[in-house]
Amino acid sequence: MSRNKPGATHRAPASRSSVSLKSLAEHLGLSQAAVSFVMNRSPNAKSIPQHTQDLIRKAARELNYRPNHLARSLRQQRSFTIGVLVPEISEGYAALVMSGIEDHLLQEGYFYFVVSHRHRADLLEEYPLLLQQRAVEGLIAVDTAIAEGLQIPSIAVSGHREVPGVTNIVLNHARGAMLALEHLYKLGHRRIAFIKGQEFSSDTAIRWQSIQDSAAALGIEIDDRLVVQLKGESSSPELGYNVTQQLLGSGAPFTALFSFNDVSAIGAIQALRESGRRVPDNVSVVGFDDIQSAAFQNPALTTVRQPLRQMGMTAAETLLQRITNAGQDSYPKEIVVEPTLVVRASTAPIP
């Protein structure tokens, strides 16, 4: 199955124990300082003639010298590492934000630790501390209520509490709610059901408030019997499925459903279908987020799109700026991004 090609040692001689600055300097008959200056293109290197510089770089290449990042971090008090705190590593929301974060971060030479707290209070408390012990230079919390009193610059993606030292990156929820409700309103819907998010979700309160405001502005009345709330920790569509059954059980009629997010909307559609209702013929459904699979549902999901990747990139970019400009203690308290309505096939005019 696998052959050992005899002449295939095209890699460098794989220096068993990795070479250190010390061994490299000895090999060259120079001081560690000289080598360090040259390798880092430090201003001090100007006292080293070009010829010697070339020799140093050549030897470094040949011996495959790679400076130990730990040692450098310790000395410089700079780790080029940040921490990312998410509720859970899964397909939807967090994954998209993380991919945006990574995009910007790696490009700037930073690495990051990911930790997921799964809404456990002890982990929420402990992880930021552990991350700081590991000398991260900043923290990005995704959909996570961040504790006060952090020593390092922090960004909260979808954070809404005003915490000293924290930049919140938030969606314009007023607009998001209005886009969705206006769309339904224009299709003739008046009896609209709502699925609220769990208490622990950062966006739950603000989104619900925005919905109430938009509904009032449009003259849509919200029937309490048509409002349910997701229950449970998991991020599976099942949660949406469950509360939709509850909604159907109440007997109150509705022609549209606006769900807290796409994942729950997907579960909701399944429940509607099983109850004999067709989407969008009998009930229109609007989701929120526009996760990757939203476009490939059947019917394809109409949803309020959050620019999640963009939010991740902005988070990383802002964080690095704050780290680099440390000292200035002015920093943005809030950055607002705009939603868009993506109309697909899960909404239609009232029957």
Partner DNA sequence: AACTAATAGTAAATCGCTTTACTTGAGCCT
Partner DNA sequence: AGGCTCAAGTAAAGCGATTTACTATTAGTT
Interface ranges with a second copy (CB under 8 A): 1-2, 11, 14, 18, 66-71, 73-74, 79, 88-92, 95-96, 98-99, 102, 106, 111-116, 129-130, 132-135, 148-149, 151, 161-163, 236-237, 241, 266-267, 269-270, 273, 291-293, 295-300
What is the closest distance, in whole angstroms, from the C-beta atom of residue 16 to DNA in the complex?
A: 13
Number of residues engaging DNA in binding (CB under 7 A): 28
Which of 4, 9, 15, 30 binds DNA (CB under 7 A)? It is 30
Which tokens go with 143? 């959909």
CB of 339 within 8 A of CB of 171? yes
What are the residues whose beta carbons fall under 8 Å from the beta carbon of 226, sequence distance 6 or more?
A: 191, 192, 193, 194, 247, 250, 252, 254
Burial of residue 291, with CB atoms counted within 10 A of its CB: 0-12 exposed, 13-18 middle, 19 or more buried: buried
Of 36 and 303, the one with the shorter C-beta distance to DNA is: 36
Which of 59, 67, 277, 350 binds DNA (CB under 7 A)? It is 67
Write the Ramachandran bin of 256: left for phi over 0, alpha for psi from -120 to 50, otherwise beta.
Answer: beta
What are the residues whose beta carbons fall under 8 Å from the beta carbon of 32, sequence distance 6 or more?
A: 21, 22, 25
326 touching DNA, by CB under 7 A: no
34 touching DNA, by CB under 7 A: yes
22 binds, among a second copy, DNA, none (CB under 5 to 8 A by kind): DNA
What is the closest distance, in whole angstroms, from the C-beta atom of residue 182 to a second copy in the complex?
A: 25
What is the closest distance, in whole angstroms, from the C-beta atom of residue 148 to a second copy in the complex?
A: 7
9 touching DNA, by CB under 7 A: no
Q: How many CB atoms lie within 10 A of CB 68?
A: 11
60 touching DNA, by CB under 7 A: no
Pairwise CA distance, residues 239 & 288, whole Å:
15
User: How many residues are given for the chain?
Assistant: 351
Which tokens go with 324? 């680099």
79 touching DNA, by CB under 7 A: no
11 binds, among a second copy, DNA, none (CB under 5 to 8 A by kind): a second copy
Q: Which stretch binds DNA (CB under 7 A): 25-33, 91-99, 139-147, 332-340?
A: 25-33
CB of 80 within 8 A of CB of 110? yes
Q: Which stretch binds DNA (CB under 7 A): 70-78, 107-115, 167-175, 228-236?
A: 70-78
Of 129 and 252, the one with the shorter C-beta distance to a second copy is: 129
* Bridge pairing between strands 256-258 and 192-196: parallel
What is the closest distance, in whole angstroms, from the C-beta atom of residue 301 to a second copy in the complex?
A: 11
Pairwise CA distance, residues 54 & 40, whole Å:
13
Q: How many CB atoms lie within 10 A of CB 117?
A: 19
Residues that bind DNA (CB under 7 A): 20-22, 29-34, 36-37, 39-40, 42, 44, 47-49, 52, 66-68, 71-72, 74-77
